[in-house]
Amino acid sequence: MTKKRLLLAGMEDYFETWRRAADSTAAGLDLVPYVPGQAFPGFPYLLIWRPVPELFASLPDLRVIFCLGAGTERLIADPSIPARLPLVRMVEPGLTQCMVDYVLWRVLYHHRRMWELEEAQAQARWAQHLYPAAWERKVGILGLGTLGQACAEKLAEFEFQVRGWSRSPKSVAKVACFAGTETLGEFLAGLDILVCLLPLTPETKGILNADLFARLAPRAALVNAGRGGHLVDDDLLAALADGRMGSATLDVFHREPLPPDHPFWLHPRVFVTPHYASETHPPSALVEIARQIERFEQGATLEHVVDRQRGY
């Protein structure tokens, strides 16, 4: 059987990792690196991360664009991407599983107030503290896409009181689901820990702001694994300073890498992770891309196609 060719662009740093993964899986894909200035006729499938100037003029036979990640806002903002081509965001088990790991780990960190133990250890001080049971904590997930649903389900299995919020109505077992802007206040009321897994769109930009923080429980924790643009940095710093918010884990930032002089780095209650929450796992992602290509060639509808008007 001839392998299908998949062109990779805007992800030069990762090409060798992906090629090794392709060699070790049965996905049946032949990965070819894009070379600027060269034409690639006969390539219907593209996997892309960063926008690449003048890419599309050299791909006359392109039919499907696969995005390397779940967040597609940079590609949507690139006017050079032909509107007629389907843009598929990444949904694959490796990415989902790693996000579940990350979110649970960080929620447990805030739930158990780990930083108090770290401070005590640095002083060789035996300092027990009481903590509530998981079922006494209210945890909210902003965004109930594939990642948000998986995290909400897992948090509910841990017996946290879980709420979820999304633009359109969703249903998740043992999770109180809220939909639409008019329910946002009710969703937020008294949450102890808020996790943001929203897509970045004009509607969600800056949603993590002083008004939102004021609705949470006192000294609530924020986990932002969405996008840096969701957060108003100064509002979080002010809310931490006046005790309205208690702590935060931030994985995403307005500028990445986070500039060395940003106050988040050395803030004792802000835990910075380097856009590391989750990433696409090449072996399982290649299997997923091959599955979608198979569907596409058999005339079935592609899944996870981005609605560029909606923004995700």
Q: Is 25 in the site for a copy of itself (CB under 8 A)?
A: no
The distance of Cα 121 from the centroid of its chain, to the nearest Å, equals 32
In whole angstroms, give the CA distance from residue 304 to residue 91: 7
Q: Is 163 in the site for a copy of itself (CB under 8 A)?
A: no
- Residues with a catalytic annotation lie at 227, 275
Q: Cite the DSSP H helix spans in the chain.
A: 15-24, 73-76, 93-111, 114-122, 146-157, 184-188, 210-215, 233-241, 282-297
Give the bridge partners for 176, in sequence order: 163
What are the start-end ranges of the E strands in 199-261? 220-224, 245-250
Q: Which position among 104, 150, 155, 162 is part of the footprint of a copy of itself (CB under 8 A)?
A: 104
Could you tell me the smallest distance in angstroms from the CB atom of residue 286 to a copy of itself?
14
Question: Which residues 6+ apart lie within 8 Å of 228 measured at CB?
Answer: 252, 253, 254, 255, 256
Q: Closest CB to a copy of itself among 26 and 124?
A: 124
Q: Which of positions 114-153 make contact with a copy of itself (CB under 8 A)?
A: 114, 117, 120-122, 124-129, 131, 133-135
The distance of Cα 63 from the centroid of its chain, to the nearest Å, equals 26
From 58-66, 77-85, 172-180, 260-268, span contacting a copy of itself (CB under 8 A)? 260-268
Q: Which position among 53, 180, 206, 274 is part of the footprint of a copy of itself (CB under 8 A)?
A: 274
Residues that bind a copy of itself (CB under 8 A): 94, 97-98, 100-102, 104-105, 108-109, 111-112, 114, 117, 120-122, 124-129, 131, 133-135, 154, 157-159, 256-258, 260-262, 265-266, 271-276, 281, 284
